[in-house]
Amino acid sequence: MNPMRWGEKCYYSLDYYLRTTYGEKLYKVSLNGGCTCPNRDGTLGTRGCIFCSAGGSGDFASSPALSITEQFAAGCSLVKNKYTGNGFIAYFQAYTNTYAPVSKLRAMFMEAIQIPEVRVLSIATRPDCLSREVLALLEELNRIKPVWVELGLQTIHPKSAAFIRRGYELPVFTSAVRQLTDLGISVITHVILFLPGETEEQMLETIHYLNHLPIQGIKLQLLHILDGTDLANYYRLHHFFTPSMDAYFEVLGKCICHLRPDIVVHRLTGDGPKKLLIAPGWTGNKRLVLGSMQHYFKTHAIWQGKDYS
């Protein structure tokens, strides 16, 4: 395979997809709809997933006390000096963004999608929070502007899923993917690498499983240990293995090699708030990580021997 197929990168990057689809890079603005999560409100649990911070993975979003329009304006103002484009992705990131009355969801999603600069509406949620009414709303929104639904799978392995307190079985995820894609809605899957006890083989098994589902995008992320989470308490007691930078790049490269080539790679690392980060410490320097990652990929020829089975 030609490593230059997707511009300068040897994988189908989000940047390449956006430029070839929309003619420019779109900047993502994180929004907070004020939703909660069944893993926090007592339906499934009260402490969330074991790795989840108090911000519900939305630590960089604005305050839900602001309107969606106000949050969007605030997010745009933060990037005005480094982003000169005209298009944005409205990203509902914090907690579970389809876990609310449909009337509330309709109001906040419609407010976001009707902002002229918004080109895409991206919604992070759980596959067990997609009722028939919610799916109908998402289909309606997708007729106005493209809708992406981000589903947190993390792993296909039951032992790991129980450890992180995911709260649903694998068939629930599979069914949600098929329901969404049948409606023409793009699905982006979140996968966490180096969950405690998972082997390289098991991580690749998750990739192979996803290759056989009609997903359009993937977010690959190293497990971050953040202060204030139950994972941090577990880490202090057991001090489980966390990889070095090169060790992570090696496994990440293998995941990319095995990934189906039409799946857009939306993320390769992730970055939690520095003030909360306990381990791995090297992930706190985002610029160094991204630069080192691209150098590693170019010098290790990861596009050789691809296997999309």
Give the pLDDT confidence of 180-193 residue by residue, as tens digits: 999 999 999 999 99
Cis, bond preceding 214 (omega within 30 deg of 0)? no
Is 264 within a domain?
yes
pLDDT for 301? 60
User: What's the CA gap between 300 and 289, in Å, rounded?
Assistant: 16
Please state the domain count of the chain: 1
Name the phi and psi angles at 185, rounded to 5. -100, 130
Task: Confirm whether 9 is domain-assigned.
Answer: no
| Position with higher pLDDT, 81 vs 11 | 11
- In a domain, residue 5? The reply is no
Tens-digit pLDDT profile for residues 253-272: 999 999 999 999 999 987 77
Q: Is the pTM of this model over 0.85?
A: yes
Q: Between 229 and 63, name the one with better pLDDT.
A: 229
Average pLDDT over residues 38-51: 92
* Terminal CA-CA length for the chain: 16
Owning domain of residue 100 = 14-300
Best CA proximity match to 153, nearest among 199, 233, 213, 99 = 213
The answer to whether residue 3 is domain-embedded is no
Domain-located, residue 308? no
* Domain membership flag for residue 179: yes
Buried b (16+ CB within 10 A) or exposed e, 115-149: beebbbbbbbbbbbbbeeebbebbeebbeeebbbb
Pairing state between β 217-222 and 225-226 = unpaired
Structure token pair of residue 259: 């990934």
Joined tokens for residue 84: 């000169």
Q: Is it the case that residue 309 has pLDDT exceeding 50?
A: no
pLDDT at 155: 98
pLDDT in tens, 116-143: 999 999 999 999 999 999 999 999 999 9
Does any domain span residue 1?
A: no
On whether residue 76 sits in a domain, the answer given is yes
CATH number of the domain residue 144 falls in: 3.20.20.70
